[in-house]
């Protein structure tokens, strides 16, 4: 399959970029670097950055969307931070390799009750115990030392790399695979089925944390393609080395991820004349026979029209492709038949301290795979992770295994994360349901006198169905980039905007 590697566009061309999330801002940045000087970015929200949304209090950034970077997969973002936002330093989470930095709660398989807020398991210990359950026969478990699952993980990581290269025809840097798999029979299954089929059960616990608890689908239902795209072999190897070397691989930023995109946008406005229109939802894009287009939008109650030569759709295409009413037959087949997504909620709240305070508390069992969700399902939208940004960014002051000293005393501010494995329906109703579940989860966690400060509910991880992948839609979209003077980007086409 071929795709365009170079498209000739006159530098005087007028661009409208719909969406000022990371994809839209970065595309404007790349255009400006190439000498284009007539660029307008339109954003429906009141800020740039999209899901890279940060609330800063007391010099501590509480990232509600983008939270973590790893050096093996986010090299370009580290470069942007260094070159475009140098005051916003990558900050390694100092205690992340140490015991009880991240703990597992409510994991019944490893002996922790969901309603027990005083019993926890260090994430690394949980991973070994879970790997024991996933990959060691029951009759051998009583006589198997806990270090043995660690060896199985290392061996599985080697097999995984070899299989990954076989599926995609060789090595490639993290990002969208440059070409589709040559044999879809190796991938025409869920992520869990893939790990089981290919003797990779020792990696299930790692995938639960890195794929599932990041909101990129439940292993029992997400297509294997997305799981192995996200879990690049370099990331798997780096995770293994980090456990052995006890070095942090997770980074936040000193000013939050939204700060990066705001800084780039501000520089583009001042230095390159790029126009950013916020609170400006686009209602319609009309593409004319002469290869120009008119973008209709509303800003502060005033209707506006923007005549351009190229339109860049940097929005969630599973929801907003219909702002172009006349799609070509090819576009219609690619963008309207095989999309799905999930729902993700992030809630910033303050409460009295719980029985223990940790930087991260995770409940992997709460993302129970249910084929058809409904509001009566017991695991409908429960909180699966609590994150305390203040503790994440500060080293423990003592040498103990649990406490964070004075930082763990007094009122605590955290972000709670909830997930549903189906597309967003009504944002207001979804937020109400999430909040109702969350109140019960706070009570179980022992978080009292709760003050909810900010809540974001997103249509999350827009993606193609298994059938859409088999039809090779992501690569076909690469082939039509620039056709009808339209470009398509963002998380709808790549597993993450970053």
**488 and 317 in contact (C-beta within 8 Å)?**
yes
- The pLDDT value given to residue 96: 66
- The residue behind tokens 């009122």 is 411
Tokens of 272: 């390159």
User: Mean of the pLDDT values across residues 481-496?
Assistant: 84
- The pLDDT value given to residue 484: 94
- The pLDDT value given to residue 379: 44
- The pLDDT value given to residue 375: 44
- The pLDDT value given to residue 403: 65
User: Mean of the pLDDT values across residues 331-351?
Assistant: 93
- The pLDDT value given to residue 9: 93
Could you tell me which residue, 356 or 415, shows the higher pLDDT?
Answer: 415
Domain ranges of the chain: 15-50+257-338+465-488, 124-245, 339-463
User: Mean of the pLDDT values across residues 300-324?
Assistant: 95
What CATH number is given for 15-50+257-338+465-488 in this structure?
Answer: 3.50.50.60
User: What are the phi and psi torsion angles at 283 (to 5°)?
Assistant: -100, -25
Dihedral sign, Cα of residue 190, residue 196, residue 199, residue 204? positive
Tokens of 439: 């109140």
- DSSP assignment of 296-311: EEEETTEEEEEEESEE
Distances (CA, A) of 395 to 359, 399, 416, 467: 10, 10, 22, 47
In tens, the pLDDT along 444-480 reads 999 999 999 999 999 999 999 999 999 999 999 999 9
**226 and 220 in contact (C-beta within 8 Å)?**
no
pLDDT at 229 over 80: yes
Contacts of 85 (CB under 8 A, 6+ apart): 255, 259, 260, 263, 264
Percentage of the residues of the chain whose pLDDT score is greater than 70: 92
In tens, the pLDDT along 354-404 reads 988 888 999 888 886 543 333 444 446 889 999 999 888 877 766 555 567
Dihedral sign, Cα of residue 487, residue 284, residue 421, residue 186? negative
Could you tell me which residue, 419 or 98, shows the higher pLDDT?
Answer: 419
- The pLDDT value given to residue 371: 34
**475 and 180 in contact (C-beta within 8 Å)?**
yes
Tokens of 384: 């699966």
- The pLDDT value given to residue 281: 97
The yes or no reply on domain 339-463 and CATH 3.30.70.1990 is: yes
Distances (CA, A) of 102 to 92, 266, 281, 391: 14, 36, 40, 11
CA-CA distance, 48 to 269, in Å (whole number)? 13
User: Mean of the pLDDT values across residues 11-37?
Assistant: 96
pTM of the complete model = 0.92
Q: String of b and e for 214-251 (b: at least 16 CB within 10 Å)?
A: bbbbbbbebbbbbbbbbbbbbbbbbbbebbeeeebbbb
In tens, the pLDDT along 53-96 reads 999 998 899 999 888 887 767 888 999 999 999 999 998 876 66
What is the maximum span of the chain, computed from C-alpha positions, in angstroms? 75
pLDDT at 497 over 60: no
Contacts of 90 (CB under 8 A, 6+ apart): 69, 78, 81, 251, 252, 253
- The whole-chain average pLDDT of the chain stands at 88
CA-CA distance, 382 to 417, in Å (whole number)? 8
27-36, 53-62, 234-243, 278-287: which has the minimum mean pLDDT?
234-243
- The pLDDT value given to residue 495: 64
CA-CA distance, 337 to 335, in Å (whole number)? 6
Could you tell me which residue, 1 or 135, shows the higher pLDDT?
Answer: 135
CA-CA distance, 423 to 458, in Å (whole number)? 9
**262 and 54 in contact (C-beta within 8 Å)?**
no
User: Mean of the pLDDT values across residues 189-205?
Assistant: 95
**242 and 98 in contact (C-beta within 8 Å)?**
no
User: Mean of the pLDDT values across residues 202-216?
Assistant: 90
CA-CA distance, 317 to 462, in Å (whole number)? 8
């Amino acid at each position: 399959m071929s795709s365009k590697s170079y498209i000739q566009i006159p530098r005087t061309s007028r661009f409208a970029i719909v969406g000022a999330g990371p994809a839209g801002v970065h595309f404007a940045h790349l255009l400006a670097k190439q000498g284009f000087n007539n660029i307008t970015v339109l954003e429906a929200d009141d800020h740039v950055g999209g899901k890279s949304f940060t609330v800063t209090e007391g010099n501590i950034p509480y990232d509600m969307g983008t939270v973590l970077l790893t050096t093996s997969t986010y090299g370009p973002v580290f470069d942007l931070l260094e070159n475009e936002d140098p005051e916003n330093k990558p900050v390694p989470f100092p205690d992340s390799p140490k015991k009880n930095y991240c703990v597992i709660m409510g994991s019944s398989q490893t002996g922790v009750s969901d309603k027990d807020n005083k019993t926890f398991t260090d994430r690394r210990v949980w991973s070994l115990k879970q790997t024991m359950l996933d990959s060691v026969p029951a009759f051998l478990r009583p006589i198997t030392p806990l270090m043995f699952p660690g060896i199985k993980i290392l061996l599985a990581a080697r097999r995984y790399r070899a299989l990954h290269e076989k599926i995609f025809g060789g090595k490639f840097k993290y990002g969208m695979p440059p070409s589709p798999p040559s044999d879809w029979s190796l991938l025409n299954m869920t992520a869990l089925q893939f790990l089981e089929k290919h003797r990779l059960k020792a990696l299930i616990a790692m995938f639960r944390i890195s794929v599932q608890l990041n909101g990129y689908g439940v292993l029992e239902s997400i297509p294997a393609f997305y799981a192995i795209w996200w879990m690049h072999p370099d990331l798997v190897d780096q995770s293994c080395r980090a456990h052995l070397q006890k070095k942090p691989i997770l980074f936040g930023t000193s000013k939050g991820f939204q700060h990066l995109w705001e800084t780039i946008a501000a520089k583009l406005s001042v230095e390159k004349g790029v126009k950013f229109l916020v609170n400006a939802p686009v209602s319609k894009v009309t593409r004319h026979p002469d290869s120009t287009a008119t973008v209709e939008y509303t800003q502060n109650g005033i209707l506006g029209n923007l005549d351009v030569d190229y339109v860049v759709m940097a929005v969630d295409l599973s929801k907003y492709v219909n702002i172009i009413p006349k799609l070509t037959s090819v576009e219609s087949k690619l963008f309207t038949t095989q999309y799905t997504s999930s729902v993700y909620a992030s809630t910033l709240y303050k409460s009295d301290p719980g029985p223990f305070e940790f930087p991260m508390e995770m409940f992997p069992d709460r993302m129970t795979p249910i084929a058809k969700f409904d509001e009566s399902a017991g695991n409908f939208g429960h909180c699966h992770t609590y994150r305390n940004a203040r503790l994440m960014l500060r080293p423990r002051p003592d040498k103990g295994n649990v406490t964070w000293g004075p930082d763990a005393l007094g009122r605590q501010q955290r972000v709670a994360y909830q997930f549903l494995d189906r597309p967003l329906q009504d944002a207001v109703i979804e937020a109400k349901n999430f909040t109702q579940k969350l109140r019960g989860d706070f009570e179980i966690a022992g978080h009292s006198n709760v003050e909810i400060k900010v809540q974001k509910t997103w249509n999350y991880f827009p993606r193609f169905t298994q059938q859409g992948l088999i039809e090779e839609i992501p690569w076909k979209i690469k082939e039509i980039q620039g056709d009808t003077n339209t470009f398509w980007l963002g998380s709808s086409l790549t597993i993450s905007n970053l």
